[in-house]
Chains A and B, each alone.
Chain A
Amino acid sequence: MSSPLEPGDGAPRLEAGRCRDCSAVTFPLRERCPSCGGDLERFLLPERGTLWTWTTQGFEPPSPPYLAEGSGFEPFAVGYVEFDGLLRVEGRLTESDPERLRIGMPMEVVALELGDRVTYAFNPVDE
C-alpha cells in the first residue's frame, strides 16, 4: 500500500478498517483488530472532519524514510483530524501558515502530490 488514499469517483476518502466483531474502527487498515483481535473489513472514512490538533515541520525530515520532494524543502504542517464519532487521523495539512490554522476548524480529505507519489492531506474548508 503506497497510500491509504482512495481516490474514488467523487471526493477522495481514506481507507480504514472496521472490526466485524466489536465494530472498532482502525486506521490504517491492519490484518486484525487491535482492540479484540477480530477480523477487519474495509471501511472508508467520511470526507470531512475537524482539526483536533496540529503542528509544523520546520526542517526537512530525515530521508529515508522521508521521500524528499526534489527541489528544495518547504516547511509543512501536520495535524490530527477528528472524524465525528469514529477516531482521529494524522496527516499532512495543505495549509502551513500557523495564522490560518485553528483547532476545531472543518477539514476535508484531499489528494496531495509529493514528487511522483500521490498521498492524502487535510485541507481547510471554507466555513
Chain B
Amino acid sequence: MSAQPEIAIVGAGIHPFGRHDGIGGLAMGVHAVRDALADAGVTWPEIQFAYGGSEDAGNADTMVADLGPTGLPFVNVKNGCATGGSSLVSTVLALESGAYDVGLVVGFDKHPRGAFRNDPADWSLPAWYGEDGLMVTTQFFGAKLQRYMHDHGIPSRTLAQVAEKAFHNGALTPHAWRRTPLSAEEILAAPMLAHPLTQYMLCSPGEGAAALVVCRREYLARLPEARPVWLRSVAFRTRRPGSFEVFSPSLPLELAPSPSVDAAREAFERAGAGPGDVDVAQVQDTESGAELIHLAECGLCEHGEQAELYATGATGIDGRLPVNTDGGCLANGEPVGASGLRQVCEVVTQLRGEAGARQVPGRPQLGFTHVYGAPGVSACTVLSR
C-alpha cells in the first residue's frame, strides 16, 4: 500500500434508514451530524467547513439553524446518486489542499413513495419518451441485466441469492429498513416488476441520513480518544460516450465501459492496493443484478463468476469477500443523497470492529465502497485500519 495516509475518518453517524413519518430530511441529517460529532469527540464549533446535500429534501447548509450558525463555509451539493461521493471527494481535496484540518460531510434524503418520477425535459429528452412509458428507471435495470445474464450465463436464482443475503444482513443491522429475512424461493415467487427482477430484487426510494467527520493526520493529536479509519483514496468519474445508462433512447453498437470501471481503477491505483486486497466491500445494489455487475466492473470478481460466488456463500459476512454487510440498498432503501455515505459509515464500522452481529470476522484491514447512479456517475473509496 501507498505511503503514510494523510486523511482520516474520525466520526461516523447514521439516522436509521426507512420511512419516518413526521421527520423531515434535514432533521435526519442533523441527527446524523450530531452522531458523527459525538463519535469523533469533536464539537460543532470546531468543524472548519462542510459539504452536504440531498436530492429531494432541502439545502444542507440550512442545518446551521439547528447545529449553530458558526459562520463556517458550508457547500450544498446536488449530484444525484453521487451526492455523497461528490461531497466526500470535495472534502478530501479541501483537506489535502491544506486549507483546513477538520471538516464534515453529510448526506440525507426523503423521497415520495413509489418509483422515481422524472420529467423528460429535465433530461434533454423529447416528450414522447415519457408519454410512451419509457421514462422508468426499472426498465434500464431490467434491460441491462437481461443482456448481462445472456452474455455471462447467470441464472435468475443468483439474483434471488443476492436479495436473500441482503435481507439476512439487514436483519442484523440496527439502522436497516428491511429487517425480515426472506428465502430465495419467496424472492423468486414475488411479483415480476421488471423482468428478470421481482419485487424483492429492487430497492425502494426511502429516507435516511449519514454523516462523517474527516480530518488531516496532524489533527489526530487533538483527539486522543479517536478510532481513526484511513481514507486511502476517493475517485469520482462520469460516463464516456457509449456507456449504457438510464434513459437512453438509443445505444451505439460499440459500448464503452461503465464509469464504475474507471472510478474503481482510479481508487485502487491511488490507494496502492488491488481488488484482491479487499476484506469488506459495499457496492451499489439498486437491484440484485447491479450488485453482480458492479462486483465485476470494480474488479472484485470476473464477469460470469458471480453465479458460483453466490451459490457458495462467498459474499456472505463470513465468506471470502463480504459484500454489502449492512444489507445494502436492498435492505436500507435508497435515500439518494445519503446512500453513498452510508456505505462509507458501514466500512468504518467494520474496520473498527464495531459491527456487532454483522461484524466480518478476522479483523478486516481493507475496505472498499462503490456508488453508481444516473446519468452515469460513480464514486469509489478505499479505506484501511
Contact = CB atoms under 8 A, between A and B. Distances in A.
Interface in A85-103: 85-92, 98, 103
Interface in A40-79: 52-59, 61-62, 64-67, 76-79
Contact of A55 (B120, B133, B195): B195
The bracket for how many chain A residues form the interface is 35 or more
Contacts of B141: 55
B120 A87 contact: no
B168 to A, nearest CB: 25
Contacts of A2: 127-128, 131
Contacts of B97: none
B250 interface: yes
Contact of A27 (B114, B120, B143, B249): B249
A62 B114 contact: yes
A53 B252 contact: no
Given A89-B250, A90-B250, A55 B142 contact: yes
A31 to B, nearest CB: 11
Contacts of B136: 57, 61-62, 66
Contacts of B139: 55, 57, 78
Contacts of B253: 82, 85-88
Contact of A65 (B119, B138, B146): B119
B126 A65 contact: no
Nearest to B254: A87
B374 to A, nearest CB: 15
A56 B141 CA distance: 11
Contact of A88 (B127, B130, B251): B251
A3 B131 CA distance: 9
B118 interface: yes
Contacts of A92: 132-134
Contact of B248 (A35, A79, A90): A90
A4 B125 CA distance: 12
A58 B143 contact: no
Contacts of A53: 143-144, 146-147, 150
Nearest to B131: A67
A117 B142 CA distance: 26
Contacts of A57: 133, 136, 138-139, 194
Interface string B62-82: 000000000000000000000
Nearest to A87: B250
Contacts of B191: 58
Contacts of A85: 253
Contacts of A34: 241
A58 B192 contact: yes
Nearest to A112: B132
A65 B195 contact: no
Given A62-B117, A82-B253, A88-B253, A119 B142 contact: no
B135 interface: yes
Contacts of B250: 16, 26-28, 87-90
B223 interface: no
A91 B114 contact: no
Contacts of A88: 250-253
A61 B128 contact: no
B8 to A, nearest CB: 43
Nearest to A89: B250
B189 interface: no
Contacts of B1: none
B130 A66 contact: yes
A107 to B, nearest CB: 14
A119 B132 contact: yes
Interface in A1-29: 1-4, 16, 26-28
B196 to A, nearest CB: 8
Given A1-B126, A55-B146, A56-B194, A66 B133 contact: yes
Contacts of A64: 117, 119, 130
A114 interface: yes
A103 B147 contact: yes
A58 B147 CA distance: 19
A103 B132 CA distance: 22
Contacts of B133: 57, 61, 66, 76, 78, 92, 114
Interface string B252-285: 1100000000000000000000000000000000
Contact of B194 (A58, A62, A103): A58
22 contacts: A2-B128, A3-B132, A4-B128, A52-B147, A53-B147, A55-B195, A57-B133, A57-B136, A58-B192, A61-B115, A62-B118, A65-B117, A66-B130, A66-B132, A78-B133, A78-B134, A80-B143, A85-B253, A89-B250, A92-B134, A98-B192, A114-B131
